[in-house]
Structure 1
Amino acid sequence: LGVPDDAGYLRLIQGFLHPIRLADDFTPADLLERVRGIAPADLQAVTNTAKRMGLNRAGLDAERVPPLIWADFEEALKRNRVLFSNLRH
């Protein structure tokens, strides 16, 4: 089946993130540049793990997930051991 085009990736990213936001200096397009080539199921797993990383970063008292930063996704990629062709740091 292959991987989605950029527009498809952006739709997936926005859908998987909802309702969580990214930090003001980190856009869905920035995330796309760094994860292009990842399978959609892996992107979903990484996004879910990144949400947990954000919640961990916020601390035990947090009532909601804070805006996610690239470091949340970096850790999520490590934890999910995702394989894809074009990871950019």
Structure 2
Amino acid sequence: VVDEELCIGCKTCASACPFEVPQYVELEDGGFRMDKCDTCLSLGREDGEMPHCVLTCPVQALHFGPLSEMEAAAKKKGGARMEGETTPSVYVS
């Protein structure tokens, strides 16, 4: 989610996203806003609804869930925690 008080409109997030989700939106009052992926926050997580990108990935390469579940899945596939500080967490396999 974009913190509109901190965003300077540099569009770095837009250029970094391989799915072209973040969009630079110019407002009628002359201002701007970055609209960015919020992992479909409006969906019913308590009902198990997943972000649309996870559901539509043709090769099921995207995963979403509690960090503990993602950590267990990564370890199962031989993943290891990256060296150094990563927040919230990064696994590689």
Normalised TM-score (structure 1): 0.28
Larger gyration radius, structure 1 or structure 2:
2
Which structure has greater helix proportion? 1
Normalised TM-score (structure 2): 0.27
